[in-house]
Each structure stands twice: as C-alpha cells, then as structure tokens.
Amino acid sequence: MPINELRSIATFAKTAELGSLRQAAAAQGITPQAASQALAQLEQHLGVRLFHRTTRSMSLTDEGRQFLEAAQPALVGLQRALRMARQAKDEIAGPLRIVGPRSTFAPVLWPLLDEFCRLHPEVQPDVQLDDRIGNWVEDRVDVGVRVGQSPAEGVIARKLFPLQLIICAAPAYLAHHGAPDSLNALAAHRCSAFRHPSTGRVLPWYVKIEDARVEHHVVPALCINEEALETEAVLAGHVLGLLTGVIAAPHIRAGRLVPLLTAGHMDDHSSIFVYYGSRAAQPTRVKAFIELAVQRLVNSTAYVLTAKELQSAEAKGRKAYPRQ
C-alpha cells in the first residue's frame, strides 16, 4: 500500500506532542486504527523505529527526536499556509481576474465595476477585455462574461440578459436618405460593417426572418473593427448600423437613434452570460462579484428595449423622416 507521507508525518508529530496515539487520532479526526497504520507505514518507509511503546505511554526514540526536529519547521509552515488560505477564502480582498469581450461588455462593465470597488475597496480587479475566446485555466480567470455560454469544460454559466441586434439610423441620416422599408431596400443605403478584431473577418448583419437567425450581407460604405467608433459613425449620420442593444438602448431612448425593421427582423437569439468555476471553491471576493452581477444585470432593462419601446421609437422616426 502506498504511503500518504503528509498524513503519516502529521500523525507522528501529533502523537509526539500528545504522548498518545489515541489522542492524536482524535485530534486529527481519524480512527485509532488509521493513526496506528499511518505511524507503522512511516516507520517502515523510513526503516527506523520512531517511538518506544509501552502499554501506558509512547516516547520518542533518538531517531524519532531527530526526525521531529527536522520535520517540525516544515509542518509549522504548512499549517500557516493552510490557515492563510482559509482566511483569504473568507475575506473580500485580493486579486480578481475578470475577462469579457471588448466589443460588447465595456459599457456594461464600468457601472458594475464602479459599484463593486466602492463596496469592496480591498479587492484588486484585473480586467482583460478581448474578443478572442481564451483558455480558462491558462488565463487564470475568476469571472468571465461573454455572448453565449462558455464552451470550456466544467465552467458554470448564468444568463444575464438577451443581446438585441438592432438596425439603427440617426435622424440626420434619415433626413437625408430616408428609411428603408425592407431588408432588400438596404442595398440602396449606406451601411456600416463590423470587422472582427481577432479574425479580421467582416461580419454579416444577423437578422431575424420568421423567428430564425439569418446572415444578411451588406456592401459596407464603412468598415470598422471597434464598436464604439462604429457607433459614432452611425450617430453622426454617415451610415446605418447594426448595433447591440447594450450600445443602442440609451441612444434610442434619448432620440439620438431610430430603430428600423424591428417588427420582423430584430435578432435576439443570443444572450450575455456570466461564467465561473466551481461554486464550492470560489473565494468570497469572486462570489461577491458574481452576486452583484446577477443582482444588477439579470433581465436588466438598461440594455434591453421592450417591443413597445422599439415600435414606438421606429414609428416616430418613420413619421418624421419618411422613405425617399
């Protein structure tokens, strides 16, 4: 039977401290038989006798005393390390590594991060926004946010809110070009396209047709690999754009953008998820961030427009700027 060196050495040290194998077993939460077996395995493994045994007491041999003196500093250090790890697990302090997509998550992250830092100033967030899908283990991720559930094995995903993809135009664009009344009519309009920062691929517009997600390819009048810059181009009236609800919702509510073709073609098949490792092993700081994200973002109306809001904003925009 292979020896469990750590268990055997701990049993030996506790027996030497208490002078009783039975008391050492009780202190470690194991049976006297298990303690006796651990000690016998250690003596056999070392090839020396560590204790003088009588029916009433146990005392160290010279070899046992020498071994205890050599092993004790390491055991004390190990006990200190275990104690520090348990304390760190219970404290809302320390590093917190957060990853998410650059093109979608940045507007969502700051309000959440701002509130979390005010609540827990001893935590040191380490945030990496990247549109690539990294390796959970190699990147040392505590909490991730992404569009769709994480494909990583053993990762828990919690849905936060649906991600709407909305065709948008600024009033200035509509005043000059009018509003398209169908997907086919987009061919006569100036459209922006998003180039994926990692792959370099120009993405099609994802639209809904009869409750299915469909790729609709546009000829881009403007192609950008940064969503914030694309949004500025749409707001300035240069192009129509397919924007996420995360970006578009506040502009539509403020009247700076008009949603188009929403009744039959706004895609909402994707959702934003928060993902993380095992619930049982999470440090308190990680649990606290996940709980705040769930409280603030699950079914959040800040980043999702209702059907009534979309229909009202589109009708108002079309009335003010009819199709040309």
> 136 and 258: one domain?
yes
Cα–Cα distances (Å) from 86 to 62, 80, 83, 281, in that order, read: 36, 10, 5, 11
Whether 288 has a pLDDT exceeding 90, the answer reads yes
Query: What DSSP string runs through 101-158?
Result: -HHHHHHHHHHHHHHHHHH-TTEEEEEEE-SS---TTTTT-SEEEEES---STT-EEE
The verdict on 65 and 113 lying in the same domain is no
**DSSP states of 234-249:** HHTTS-BEEEEHHHHH
Asked if residue 26 and residue 117 are part of one domain, the reply reads no
Q: What is the mean pLDDT of the chain?
A: 86
pLDDT band at 321 (very low <50, low <70, confident <90, very high): confident
In the predicted structure, residue 164 carries a pLDDT above the cut 90:
yes
The band of 116, judged by pLDDT with boundaries at 50, 70 and 90, is very high
CATH of the domain at 14: 1.10.10.10
Residue 106's identity, in one-letter code, is A
Query: In 3-state terms, the chain is what percent helix, strand and coil (to 5)?
Result: 45, 25, 30
- Report the C-alpha gap between 68 and 196 in whole angstroms: 62
Same domain, residue pair 63 and 129: no
Question: Among the three residues 54, 70, 90, which one is the final residue of a domain in this structure?
Answer: 90
Q: Is 310 exposed, middle or buried (0-12, 13-18, 19+ CB in 10 A)?
A: buried
Q: How many residues does the chain have?
A: 324
pLDDT band at 30 (very low <50, low <70, confident <90, very high): confident
**174 and 82 within one domain:** no
- Which range among 132-136, 137-141, 212-216 has the greatest average pLDDT? 212-216
- Cα separation values, 318 from 181, 202, 223, 258, Å: 10, 29, 26, 8
How many distinct structural domains can be found in the chain?
A: 2
Q: What is the 3-state secondary structure (H, E, C) of 65-98?
A: HHHHHHHHHHHHHHHHHHHHHHHHHHCCCEEEEE
28 and 140 fall within a common domain: no
Domain, as residue range, for 198:
93-324
Instruction: Out of 90, 117, 151, pick the residue that ends a domain.
Output: 90
Is the confidence at residue 137, as pLDDT, over 60?
no
pLDDT at 233: 97
Mean pLDDT of 288-303: 91
Q: Give the CATH number for residue 248.
A: 3.40.190.290
Pair (79, 117) in one structural domain: no
Indicate whether 30 and 105 sit together in one domain: no
State yes or no: pLDDT of 258 exceeds 80.
yes
CA distance 159 to 60: 60
Would you place residue 1 in the very low, low, confident or very high pLDDT band (cuts 50, 70, 90)?
very low
- How buried is 258 (Cβ within 10 angstroms: 0-12 exposed, 13-18 middle, 19+ buried)? buried
- Higher-pLDDT residue of 320, 135: 320
User: What pLDDT does residue 114 have?
Assistant: 94
Pair (85, 101) in one structural domain? no
Region 237-258 average pLDDT: 96
9 plus 130 within the same structural domain? no
pLDDT at 323: 59
* Predicted local distance difference test score (pLDDT) of residue 246: 93
CB neighbour list of residue 2: distance below 8 Å, 6 or more residues apart: none
pLDDT at 235: 97
Checking if the pLDDT of 3 tops 60, the result is no
Three-state DSSP class for residue 295: helix
What is the model's pLDDT at position 247?
93
212 pLDDT more than 50: yes
Q: Specify the pLDDT at position 125.
A: 92
Angle at 157 (CA atoms; ends 151, 158), nearest 5 degrees: 150
The tokens of 161 are what? 């809110």
pLDDT band at 295 (very low <50, low <70, confident <90, very high): very high
Identify whether residues 265 and 284 lie together within a single domain.
yes
Distance CA 293, CA 303 (A): 14
- The pLDDT value recorded for residue 283 is 85
Task: Tell me the average pLDDT across 94-117.
Answer: 87
Read off the pLDDT band of 278 (50, 70, 90): confident
pLDDT at 82: 66
| Residue 138 reports pLDDT greater than 60 | no
| Domain endpoint, select from 90, 109, 140 | 90
Q: Name the residue type at position 66.
A: Q
Same domain for 102 and 201?
yes
Q: Distance (Å, rounded) from C-alpha 154 to C-alpha 138? A: 14
